[in-house]
Structure 1
């Protein structure tokens, strides 16, 4: 690594609390390294930074331990899903169909 640094943001949010931390890190830092160096776990005890899914500006990154960050990027720490999005969409669609049928009195 050179003496060059980058500035990135690391963010995490719950329904009632969120935190954005701005970090100055050495050029060549990966997403996973940035998250681990952020100190986010001090704000959210129990947060598993080593295994949390990560993304940049709303797009999940498959291998955050390999993705080198660029100056100005925002690393997002994602919470585990509590429901399968496909199943939720199916249930919502079925509910809409039922409501439509009920409204017509059929």
Structure 2
């Protein structure tokens, strides 16, 4: 058995769980075994994006965990970051044009 951490940050709170799992456990299996899904009902652990120490895991169904891994559960984006930057730039350009 090895120890790993599973973390999830909702809008209103964060949860970190230390979980002991067999060495052959995959990243997705470890998240499912953590029980975090029980605390966050709308969270779909079967296909949400996962990462380890800030790096997205491309295939969490096949990548085995390693001792000390911190698995992060990522929330879906509410807005496309590129679109938000584009809108902010357009707003800044409009404000600049008004002040000239």
Q: TM-score, normalised by structure 1?
A: 0.86
- Aligned partners of 1:101, 1:57: CA distance in 2, in Å? 43
Q: Deviations over 1:30-84 (max 9, x none)?
A: 1000011011112111221101111111111111111111111110111111111
State yes or no: 1:96 paired with 2:82: no
CA RMSD of aligned residues (A): 1.3
Please, which runs of 5 or more residues in structure 1 have no aligned partner? none
1:59 aligns with 55
- Aligned partners of 1:97, 1:59: CA distance in 2, in Å? 34
State yes or no: 1:35 paired with 2:27: no
- Aligned partners of 2:91, 2:64: CA distance in 1, in Å? 44
1:9 aligns with 5
Q: Which runs of 4+ in 1 moved over 4 A?
A: none
2:83 aligns with 87
1:75 aligns with 71
SS in 1 for 2:64: coil
SS in 2 for 1:24: strand
Aligned residues: 100
- Aligned partners of 2:71, 2:35: CA distance in 1, in Å? 13
- Aligned partners of 1:93, 1:72: CA distance in 2, in Å? 41
